Amino acid sequence: MKINKIGVGIVGLGTVGTGLIEIIQKNKNLYKSKYNIDFSINGISAKNKKKKRNINIKSYRWFNDPMKMIEQSNIDIIVELIGGSDGLALRLALESLKNGKYFITANKALIAKHAVKMSEVSAQYNNKFSFEAAVGGGIPIIRLLHNSLIVGKIKNIYGILNGTCNYILTRMREDRLQFSKALKQAQKLGFAEANPKDDISGTDTAYKLAILSNIAFGINTRASEIYVEGISKVEEIDIKMAQRLGYRIVLLGIANLKNYQVMQRVHPCLVSNNSMIAKVDNELNTIIIEDQESDKVMVIGKGAGKNPTAASVMADIININDENKKRFFVSKDKKIKNIISQDISKREGRFYIRMGVDDKPGVLADITLFFKKQKISIKSMFQLDNKIKNIVPLIFVTHKIEENKISLVLKKMKSIKKIKTKIILLRIEEL
C-alpha cells in the first residue's frame, strides 16, 4: 500500500509543542505501519529560537515568520500552539484554511471566540480544522460530541474543566491547606502557571464551556457572555463545612438547555460526596453530558500537561481525513435562543451562606429573623466556635429558592451592622 507523506508545521515550542515533536519522533515508524502515513516535521517556529529546550530541534527548518509556513508546498498541516484569541493565532487559522492547509490548535481562547468564523471559512474553502486539545486535554470530548452524542438532544453539560483549580481544592480538602499555600504547591508541581489568573478566576473554564456549549447546542456564545466566579473566595472553613454537610467543593462549568434557552455559568459548587463528580481529584478533569436518549455520559482524564495535550493534538493530526472536522456544531436547532448567559437569576436551587458576625447575645436571633422576614427558608444553621477578633462564623444552608431572591436578600444584609465580614455565597448542585 502506498505511503501517504504528510508535512507538519508547528508554531509554538512550549510544553505542548515540544511534547508533540517527541511523539512524532518516537512513533514515526508506528504511524507508517499502522496508518500508512509518513509524518515529517517540515517547519517550526516560536518567539525565541535560542531558548533552551529539552529536545534537539536543529534538524528542523526554522521560520522567523510562521506565516511563511503557509506558503510551503511540503507543509500540509499547520499546528498552532502559541495561545491568544486574536493576533497571530487568528491570522494563522484563517490564512491556513484559505490556502489549503489543515489547521490544528489547542488554543481554547481562539476557538471559544472565533470557531464559528473559522467554520465559515473552512466551509467556503472546503478545508478542515481541529481543536480536540482545546478542551479537556487528553479527554476526547469533541470527538465524542461529534461521533457519539448526536442521536438525542443534549440537555445538560457539567464539567470540572480546569486541572489547576481542581488540584488546589483537593489539596485544601485533604491537606488542610489555605488557598495561597495550595496554589503555591500547584505552581511548584507545574499544575499552575506563574500567573494563574485565568485559571483561578474561572476564565479558562468559561472558554472551554463556551466551546462545548456552542458545539452541543448549536449556538454562538462567547466566554465573555458567561456568568463566571472563581475559587479565590473559597476558604478552609468552607472546605471543612462542606465535608461536615456531606459535600465537596468543586469548580464547575455548567450549561443547561430548558425551554429552548441555554444558561451557562462557571462557579464553585457544593456537590454530594455520593456523586461521581466528587470522586475526581487533583489535576483530573471530568465532563458529564446528559441527553434525552442515553441519559448521562461521563468521561474522566488528565485535563492538561505535556503528554495528554500533545497526544490529543497528535490524534487530530492522525485523523486528518475525518469529515467531522469540516463542521463545528453537532446540530443547529433554530428554536434554541442564544441568551445572555450572565443572567442566572432564574436558577433555582439550594445555597450555602457564610458570614462573620459580632460575638454578642441576640445576633443569631436577629439574623434568623431577617431571613424569616425575607421568606428565606433555612434548612440548617451552624454557629462555629473558632472566632477571630470577637467575630463568629455563621453558616446557613437554604432550601430551594430562586437565585434572584437570594441575591436581593444578600444585598439587604450588607446594611446589617452586626455582620462584620463579606457574605460568601456558594451554590449547591444536585447532579
Domains in the chain with CATH codes: 4-130 (3.40.50.720), 152-302 (3.30.360.10), 348-429 (3.30.70.260)
Segment 121-172, tens digit of pLDDT: 998 998 889 999 999 877 888 888 877 665 568 889 999 999 999 999 999 9
What local confidence, expressed as pLDDT, does residue 151 receive?
A: 54
Q: Using an 8 Å Cβ cutoff, are 250 and 277 in contact?
A: yes
DSSP state, residue 323: G
Strand partners, 105: 80
> What's the rounded Cα separation, in Å, for the pair 168 and 392?
26
Q: Which of 80-94, 97-111, 385-399 has the lowest mean pLDDT?
A: 385-399
Q: Mean pLDDT for the chain?
A: 88
Task: Indicate whether 414 pLDDT > 90.
Answer: no
- At 212, the pLDDT band (50, 70, 90 cuts) reads very high
Task: Indicate whether 174 pLDDT > 60.
Answer: yes
Angle between helices 363-373 and 403-413 (to 10 degrees): 140
Strand partners, 348: 402
- 3-state DSSP helix/strand/coil percent for the chain, to nearest 5? 40, 25, 35
155 part of the active site: no
Strand partners, 8: 41, 77
What local confidence, expressed as pLDDT, does residue 342 receive?
A: 57
Task: Indicate whether 217 pLDDT > 90.
Answer: no
What local confidence, expressed as pLDDT, does residue 262 receive?
A: 87
Q: Using an 8 Å Cβ cutoff, are 157 and 213 in contact?
A: yes
Q: Which of 101, 108, 208, 302 is catalytic?
A: 208
Distances (CA, A) of 85 to 109, 111, 209, 337, 423: 5, 8, 15, 25, 35
> Average pLDDT of 22-48?
92
pTM reported for the whole predicted model: 0.89
- Is the model more confident about 204 or about 414? 204
What local confidence, expressed as pLDDT, does residue 324 receive?
A: 64
What local confidence, expressed as pLDDT, does residue 334 receive?
A: 62
Q: Using an 8 Å Cβ cutoff, are 262 and 418 in contact?
A: no
Provide the percentage of residues in the chain whose pLDDT is more than 70.
Answer: 93
- 395: three-class secondary structure by DSSP: strand
Segment 284-307, tens digit of pLDDT: 999 999 887 667 889 998 876 677
What local confidence, expressed as pLDDT, does residue 304 receive?
A: 66
> How many helices (DSSP H) and strands (DSSP E) are in the chain?
12, 16
What local confidence, expressed as pLDDT, does residue 249 receive?
A: 97
What local confidence, expressed as pLDDT, does residue 218 receive?
A: 82
- At 1, the pLDDT band (50, 70, 90 cuts) reads low
> What's the rounded Cα separation, in Å, for the pair 70 and 98?
10
> Average pLDDT of 70-81?
95
- At 361, the pLDDT band (50, 70, 90 cuts) reads confident
Segment 218-258, tens digit of pLDDT: 888 888 889 999 999 999 999 999 999 999 999 999 998 88
